[in-house]
Amino acid sequence: MEYRKIKDEDNDGGTLSNDIENLRGIGFSGVASVSNVPPREQAKWKRKTVVTVALTFLTSSQAILIVWSKRAGKYEYSVTTANFLVETLKCALSLAALARIWKSEGVTEDNRLSTTLDEVIVYPIPALLYLVKNLLQYYIFAYVDAPGYQILKNLNIISTGVLYSIILKKKLSDIQWAAFILLCAGCTTAQLNSRSDHVLQTSLPGWIMAIVMALLSGFAGVYTEAIIKKRPSRNINVQNFWLYISGMAFNAIAILIQDFDAVMNKGFFHGYSIITTLMILNHALSGIAVSMVMKYADNIVKVYSTSVAMLLTAVVSVFLFGFNLTLAFFLGATVVSVSVYLHSAGKLQR
């Protein structure tokens, strides 16, 4: 894993992760003048904004669809087969997008599927990391309850920031680090309830598994960004195709290990419903949105997007499931909002 080489090639290719820095000196007098921003930079910002907003709304609806997909509090369908179909659908959508590009632009060096082994061999790594993380989720519940797990998941925010700086060598300002810590604190505060104190009584194995899961998730995300940006001119749909092929392979292995008997006895699509289908579609579109954020923005944007999505989910749940918003939620939402502002201000002041 030549991370330094990946980073150097990323810088040579002129990635979009430093868009804000590129705009310094263009004419800030409190707010940048849009007329002073080159058309190419405006197009980059528009594309980044679209994929970030799409990711936020798609992620916010994921938890709602998952809850709706249950019957009597249980999943009647196989979760592993659903994950496999998500990867399959993402792969099909990427191929469909490529077909349109081939028809309009022709086949070029950057959008052809044929590639070298050196380029393809890195794509299974994040897929394997996510598979291990997902398997750990089944075991961590032996040491912590569901509300506690949601709080411990916020360790992923810090791990992403640390690994982002170490692996990609992207320096965050002091204000941005403060904003990142506030983001973690705000998300945790928003999730507090009467049973949250039990998190402090989590046993050592539970803490170790939570930390390992956070590191795996953060590393997988940062590594994905590194390999996607290693070749900036490479069409994102080609990169997605190889990512999702790897995901299909590992999820097929998960089916064989975990649900082989159930699939053979009840059928692959046993327990599926319209809501399940919508959930799979949502997860597929969310996955594509994540990869596009990795391509045109970075992991930091993804973390903020998914954190805001968590708050949106809670608000929507008030109307759909009678969820009661607590004082802790409003305080947490306020802290998250301050964090978003500080992160943006920190970029402009670097």
Task: State residue 206's pLDDT score.
Answer: 87
As beta bridge partners, residue 74 has: 71
Give the mean pLDDT of 105-125.
91
| Dist CA 163 CA 160 (whole Å) | 5
Which residue, among 220, 301, 239, 256, has the nearest Cα to 90 in the 3D structure? Answer: 239
What pLDDT, on a 0 to 100 scale, did the predictor assign at position 330? Answer: 92
Residue ranges making up the domain that contains 193: 2-345
Residue 187 within any structural domain of the chain: yes
Average model confidence (pLDDT) for the chain? 83
Residue 274 lies in a domain: yes
252 vs 261: CA distance, rounded Å: 14
How far is it, in rounded angstroms, from Cα 37 to Cα 86?
A: 39
The predicted pLDDT at position 349 comes to 60
Instruction: Please write the tens of the pLDDT for every residue from 306-337.
Output: 888 888 888 888 887 777 888 999 999 999 99
pTM (predicted TM-score): 0.79
Residues 338/299, Cβ–Cβ less than 8 Å = no
Which among 21-35, 141-155, 333-347 has the top mean pLDDT?
Answer: 333-347
pLDDT digits (tens, 9 = 90+) for 252-311: 998 998 899 999 999 999 999 999 999 999 999 999 999 999 898 889 998 999 888 888
Handedness of CA 63, 303, 222, 138 (dihedral sign): negative
In a domain, 42, yes or no: yes
Number of domains forming the structure of the chain: 1
* DSSP 8-state assignment for residue 173: P
Within a domain: 186: yes
Nearest CA-CA partner of 123 in 245, 222, 229, 6? 245
More confident residue, 337 or 33: 337
Half-sphere exposure of 190 (CA within 13 A, CB side): 24
Dihedral of CA 202/205/206/211: which sign?
positive
**Rounded-to-integer distance, Cα 156 and Cα 163, Å:** 10
Q: Under 8 Å CB-to-CB from 226, ≥6 apart: which residues? A: 3, 6, 7, 10, 167, 168
Considering only CA atoms, which of 335, 285, 344 is closest in space to residue 311?
A: 335
d(CA 153, CA 148): 9
Q: Write the pLDDT tens digit of every residue in 60-99.
A: 888 788 878 888 778 889 988 999 999 999 999 999 999 9
Kindly state whether residue 350 falls inside one of the protein's structural domains: no
d(CA 215, CA 163): 8
What pLDDT score was predicted for residue 269? 93
First to last CA, the chain: 30
State the sign of the Cα–Cα–Cα–Cα dihedral 171, 174, 176, 178.
Answer: positive
Binning the chain into helix, strand and coil, the percentages to the nearest 5 are 75, 0, 20
